[in-house]
Structure 1
């Protein structure tokens, strides 16, 4: 697991260096049936959030239902519905991998929240530890 966390850290670092984003958005942890999986997900999120915080990026965190609601109009949307609407909203053609659709849905949600002034953003840091 430490090697994977380092890869996540380095990957996010490279993305930030390449694209120079002004914001960072991530999905909140959801209730998971397998505690071990939830722990690993939390560690992965921590690696990504650390890089964003080190760069001073405002961080938006969104619950899965909030993402589905922002993209499809209902928090009960299926993955296929989210994937379809991401393609429609962004004018994308051809197949879209599930992980890419999820990431783009988070970005669309964050952009929507920034436009409407409904903020889930924490200035430069994330989480309840502030």
Structure 2
């Protein structure tokens, strides 16, 4: 299950709409308690994919390290990743699944004509994605 602070979700939605028609991306900062990941903040990262920003995202290692440092400053950790799918559904692609890690939440936002129309969260379990419940708080 993913719990996410409303302000963090709004930041992610704004970023996805701003970056359309390209995939946007970033990291989810929060805490893990058992099988519940609670997100308190979203750390925006540039999409550094050199060739296919419209249908692939890539987070640079140095941006990941910056997010880890920011999380540590607040007593948090990286608990997941978010990215958008411009003009495609909010479900993971094969590419997404191949690059995912167990223990993280993956929010995918479907953006149509510059507006987020839906979003879902996914977790990798036994090398396959399964949808997880999202609870927005605060």
Is TM more than 0.5 here? no
Higher strand share: 2
Specify the structure having the higher radius of gyration (Cα): 1
Give TM-score scaled by structure 2 length: 0.27
Higher helix share: 1
